[in-house]
Amino acid sequence: MKTSRQILTIFLVVSLFASFNFGIYKLVTVRLSNNFSSATQAQMIDVGRYLPHTEGSDLPKINSTLKLENDLPVLDGAAALVPVYAAVIDNVYPEGCVTYEGGKFSDDNYYGENFAPDSAMQYKNTVRGYKAIVDGETDILFCASPSEEQKKYAEEQGVELVYVPIGLEGFVFFVNEKNPIDGLTTEQIRKIYAGEYTNWADVGGANRIINPVTRLKGSGSQTAFEMFMGDCKIARKSPLAMIGGSIGFSFRYYMDGIVENENVKMLSLNGVYPSAENIQNRSYPIVVQFYAIYRADNDNENVPALIDWLLSDEGQTLIEESGYVRIN
Amino acid sequence: MKNRTFLVILFLVMALCVALTVAHVIYAIYAYKHCSIIYFIGKELW
């Protein structure tokens, strides 16, 4: 073979691989950022925005009649509920009880859990938070319903957890802002995740594969999603779905009030948009409760006092002003 | 270039390309499991 042909052959081989990798990069890799990378810290939650007793924080202020001074219950919770329990500390706890040591993210610290061990505020998110409450590291956990595994872990450890519903939230589905679909029915969504509908054209959208995205097992939104699906089995999706048009799920305020990503939009379900008003009047079809959770054997008297206060008009007002919907 | 030399070079180039592609795909699968889905969907091409 002539040298020129040989060089051309090598060039073509390299070009073929380069094109393939470039395609994967544009379609998939460029969209992937680890939760602990700087690019997605802001997409999870910027805890620094919600630090109690800090000037310029985004926390609401009310005139609380409950003021705790000693035996402060340690509060922890899900990413979506950081604004709620941080606001509780801000309004009820004394200054100096929270020590935040910065937002360093790493393989062992996905969520920037950099609160000092003696800090009254912690942030372990749902999966680690449930373990922490069972293990006695936290006094009150603010979370959505537990998964079966989390209930089982508590049982295995011989721990009884008390779940007190303190607010309402909408479980929402969302798509890219440019996806022409603005709403679906709950039945259509179940069929998408069950693998019956695999193309957006099946539900009146563009001719493009659907990528039904799920989340980390045991996370609050994944557990809520599994409850929504009920007996409907979640299908294994095609590898090609990775390059399709995605649909995902989350909680309303996490999407709308915390992350505020303008490139995604929440879908109406059965013709009803997940606004705070539609969640409060229950016209939105998937309304879930979120809880203050504590160990039944916790003997800190401030735990029931704080729970009672959360259910009072003052506590409910704080929940509402934190962006969520009151339970009553 | 002798044919034998060419085949050796071709083999080495292909091996390198395959290794890089496999590494890329493994990284993509790993990162997909840990990524923010809001960010992932927000960056989708339409």
Residues A316 and A65: their CA atoms lie apart, in Å, by 13
What 3 state SS string does chain A have?
CCHHHHHHHHHHHHHHHHHHHHHHHHHCHHHCCECCCHHHHHHHCCHHHHCCCCCCCCCCCCCCCCCCCCCCCCEEECHHHHHHHHHHHHHHCCCCCCCECCCCCECCECCCCCECCCCCECCCHHHHHHHHHHCCCCCEEEECCCCHHHHHHHHHCCCCEEEEEEEEEEEEEEEECCCCCCEECHHHHHHHHCCCCCEHHHHCCCCCEEEECCCCCCCHHHHHHHHHHCCCCCCCCCHHHHHCEEEEEEEHHHHHHHHCCCCEEECEECCECCCHHHHHCCCCCCEEEEEEEEECCCCCCHHHHHHHHHHCHHHHHHHHHCCCEECC
Answer whether B28 sits within 8 Å of A24, measured CB to CB.
yes
Asked whether the predicted pLDDT for residue A149 surpasses 80, the reply is yes
CA distance B8 to chain A (A): 11
Average pLDDT over residues A156-180: 95
Query: Which residue would you say has higher pLDDT here, A32 or A69?
Result: A69
Quote the Cα angle for A303-A304-A307, to 5°. Answer: 90
Which pLDDT belongs to residue A108?
54
CA-to-CA distance for B12 and A301, rounded, in angstroms? 71
Q: Could you tell me if A225 lies within 8 Å of chain B, comparing CB atoms?
A: no
Q: Per residue in A272-282, pLDDT tens? A: 999 989 998 99
| Amino acid making up residue A242 | M
| CB contact B11 to A (< 8 Å) | no
Q: B45–A27: do the CB atoms touch at under 8 Å?
A: yes
Question: Taking a contact as any Cβ pair under 8 Å apart, which residues of chain A between 258 and 297 contact chain B?
Answer: 259, 261-264
- Give this prediction's pTM: 0.77
Question: Where is pLDDT greater, at B32 or B25?
Answer: B25
The residues, any chain, with a CB within 8 Å of residue A28's CB and separated by 6 or more, are: A242, A243, B28, B32
C-beta atoms of B41 and A248 within 8 A: yes
CATH superfamily ID and name for A169-280: Periplasmic binding protein-like II (3.40.190.10)
pLDDT in tens, A9-24: 999 999 999 999 998 8
Query: What is the pLDDT, as a whole number, of residue A30?
Result: 79
Q: Is B35 on the interface with A (CB under 8 A)?
A: yes
- Give the best-scoring range by mean pLDDT among A124-128, A189-193, A212-216, B39-43: A189-193
Confidence of residue A125 (pLDDT cuts 50, 70, 90): confident
**Predicted local confidence at residue A240, as pLDDT:** 83
User: Mean pLDDT across the stretch A106-110?
Assistant: 55
Most confident segment among A41-45, A190-194, B40-44: A190-194
Q: In chain A, positions 296-325, which contact chain B (CB-CB < 8 Å)?
A: none
What confidence score (pLDDT) does residue B45 get?
A: 86
- Is residue A255 within 8 angstroms of chain B, CB to CB? yes
Per residue in A226-272, pLDDT (tens digit) is: 999 998 999 988 888 888 899 999 999 888 877 778 899 999 999 99
What residues of A are in contact with residue B28 (Cβ under 8 Å)?
A: 24, 28-29, 32
Structure tokens at A47: 């805890």
Q: How much is the pLDDT for A304?
A: 95
pLDDT digits (tens, 9 = 90+) for B5-15: 999 999 999 99
User: Looking at residues A289-295, what average pLDDT do you find?
Assistant: 95
Percent of chain A with pLDDT over 70: 92
- pLDDT the model gives residue A109: 55
What residues in A contact B45, CB-CB < 8 Å? 26-27
| A38-168+289-326 against A169-280: fold identical | yes
Percentage of chain B with pLDDT > 90? Answer: 43
Overall size of chain B counted in residues:
46
User: So what's the pLDDT on residue A102?
Assistant: 66
A174 vs A54, more confident: A174
Contact yes or no for B3 and A1 at CB 8 A: yes
Q: Which fold has domain A38-168+289-326?
A: D-Maltodextrin-Binding Protein; domain 2 (3.40.190)
The predicted complex's ipTM stands at 0.86
Q: How far apart are CA A216 and CA A131, in angstroms?
A: 15
Q: Cβ of A250 under 8 Å from any chain B Cβ?
A: yes
pLDDT at A19 (0 to 100) = 95
Residues of chain B contacting A24 with CB distance shorter than 8 Å: 24-25, 28
pLDDT of residue A24: 86
Residue spans of the domains in chain A: they are 38-168+289-326, 169-280
Distance of CA A286 to the CA centre of its chain: 16
Share the mean pLDDT of chain A: 88
User: Are the Cβ atoms of A261 and B39 closer than 8 angstroms?
Assistant: yes
- pLDDT (average), residues A77-82: 88
Query: CB contact, 8 Å: A34 with chain B?
Result: yes
Name the residue among A18, A134, A31 with its Cα closest to residue A76: A134
Q: What is the pLDDT of residue A41?
A: 42
Residues of chain A contacting B41 with CB distance shorter than 8 Å: 174-176, 213, 246-248, 263-264
So what's the pLDDT on residue A37? 44
